[in-house]
A and B are shown apart, each in its own frame.
Chain A
């Protein structure tokens, strides 16, 4: 009886050995499967234990054979599949295929991880076609600085919740006039911060490759503040995707935050902003009361030589110039109009995206205490505001696959503005 059992066992093992040759191939998981085996009795469990001892099969038990009441999960390399299945069939051990192709699953997971949980090692690794959180964007900035000697990071201040206000400086020489670009002053306008990241990479990529940009950078510094309202941005990730303002509490009110684009000292307090802290266009207790705004004001004043200032928002697909707080046309209205038309035509040339352009007050609405009204009155002639894609279909929650096309087309408009600035020094 015992000999018979032993012989049977031997046969099974020989069967296995004979059926299969160990091939130690490169470690890939292509066409590997994961089987879920349901042993019906103790004898089958013993067999499975023996199977697990066949090292040449390269089996990886995710759930070891323990008891017939528990499933046994095993990752079977492709080269052992036929042997293992034959073994199971011969011994009438029931099983199902849990994972058809381990490699496929890993690749999907890797794709997902890269998309949303990226730990890029360089800005070439960074995924531009997805939305990132604050930590990821700040780490991008540090990587960009580390990779490029022409880029440095300036901390112009701290937000209300003490987050650093980081500005990237692109510079090829000292004592140059400057061009300023900011994105994300309104935190829910996610395509703007995402575009800012893309612009940063574009600048370092195109320097010394694109003659126009190279010429601009040989005469001007570019300052880029990607997350102009980091407290609000963090809040859009943690709590409310539709948050617009800063996160500073308002004394005497349960409502938080000030609209940073109504807080500037240009027509401050006039029509086109609100005195109610619970509204989205609340101007704040006084001009420049918000640290996020004050930091830029201080920077602009101390720099003293900025020649263009572009503040980027979404959505509506517009390119706007001053004024927002009054209907008096800007004294450079004619030139600003022509340049806007040129920039918008360049933008449209890429993907047929249609932009409207004009002064803020005529094109979108009256708005007081706005950024570019202040910068214009400081003497920065080429002061513009963009409203990026789209026109309301997705609005603030623009699909991530539109980030790069939006950034690409907007860049053409920015280049038009920067080039004109360079060609028309004042």
Chain B
């Protein structure tokens, strides 16, 4: 059975279209054997604290971070206020969630670490569509998002200083285990950790479905790359955690950032945890 899936995945390699200019090497398209989802997803008004609304909100968060994240700006879900779901049949078929939620930016503030709510709070609304496809191929969700005050966000002095420092000729940053096993991360390394989270959001967004709920668990390592362009370019090895399957999924990625340009992900590569691993848990 496993051999069949392996053969199928090898013959169905595709380039990911969701990431601008990205090439994914060895990205199997069928899911790893996963618990079958016998629950039918709710339609109509959803309980905002229950998982269907929360998973959809998390997808909207990933989208928000890809567009507005930076080494000093990372958004996390604070609360879902209201949510509804409906089947969409016109246009792209799938299930569409409409959400009203609040997010918090934990990228910039100097933490009061005993507090779980830190940084400014933004109110957002979004539509998240999980497409339903005939075949076993996974199609990334589509997100339309509006948040108050987003247009007022511009590059902070910290961002500019960080950018200058690390695009200077001899900057060659590298690090591993961010945070470490005890949850420690130095002040200097936090922007790199935030940047990883933002870059990982491209992957998490692409890989999400109604049956996943992704967070970034840890940065295994990072290495700054030389570039002739005025960009901060970094190679990352990140560990993603999917709450639903509880799997830790390893990805390598290459990203670039500048204050004006934001974050771009240029390459991604899934790393199997064992030789017979067939794919990241993007279940249908």
Contact = CB atoms under 8 A, between A and B. Distances in A.
Interface of A: 130-131, 190, 236-237, 241-242, 244, 254-255, 259, 271-276, 278-281, 316-317, 327, 351-354, 356-358, 361-366, 389-402, 405
A390 B179 contact: no
B34 interface: yes
Contact of A358 (B50, B245, B246): B50
A276 B33 contact: yes
Contacts of B115: 351-352
B116 A396 contact: no
Given A279-B33, A392-B215, A354 B39 contact: no
B10 interface: no
A250 to B, nearest CB: 12
Main secondary structure of the interface of B (DSSP, over half): loop
21 contacts: A242-B218, A242-B248, A271-B38, A274-B33, A276-B33, A278-B274, A278-B276, A279-B34, A279-B245, A280-B247, A351-B114, A352-B116, A362-B51, A363-B49, A392-B76, A392-B77, A396-B217, A397-B181, A397-B182, A400-B184, A402-B114
B116 A389 contact: yes
B16 interface: no
Contacts of B245: 279-281
Contacts, number: 125
Contacts of A394: 179, 183
A395 B32 CA distance: 23
A353 B116 contact: yes
Contacts of A351: 114-116
A353 B179 CA distance: 22
B38 A366 contact: yes
Interface string B213-226: 00111100000000
B113 A399 contact: yes
A190 B32 CA distance: 27
B79 interface: yes
Contact of B182 (A130, A244, A272, A316): A130
Taking residues whose C-beta sits less than 8 angstroms from the other chain, chain B's interface range is 35 or more
Interface in B139-197: 179-185
A333 B247 CA distance: 30
Contacts of A361: 39
B25 interface: no
Contact of A362 (B38, B50, B239): B50
Interface in B53-83: 76-79
A237 B277 CA distance: 25
A400 B183 CA distance: 6
B65 to A, nearest CB: 12
B35 A399 contact: no
Contact of B35 (A281, A327, A395): A281
A399 B184 contact: yes
B236 interface: no
A20 to B, nearest CB: 44
A351 B106 CA distance: 17
Contacts of A190: 181
A131 B76 CA distance: 26
Nearest to A389: B116
A325 to B, nearest CB: 10
A397 B36 CA distance: 29
Given A244-B246, A353-B116, A131 B182 contact: yes
B228 interface: no
B39 A279 contact: no
A177 to B, nearest CB: 32
A230 B135 CA distance: 44
Nearest to B36: A271
Given A131-B182, A275-B33, 7 more contacts: A242-B241, A274-B35, A278-B274, A279-B245, A280-B246, A352-B115, A391-B77
A404 B2 CA distance: 45
B244 interface: yes
Contacts of A278: 273-274, 276-277
A395 B72 CA distance: 19
A280 B248 CA distance: 9
Count chain A CB atoms within 10 A of each CB in B34, B215, B273, B274 and give the residue with the most: B215
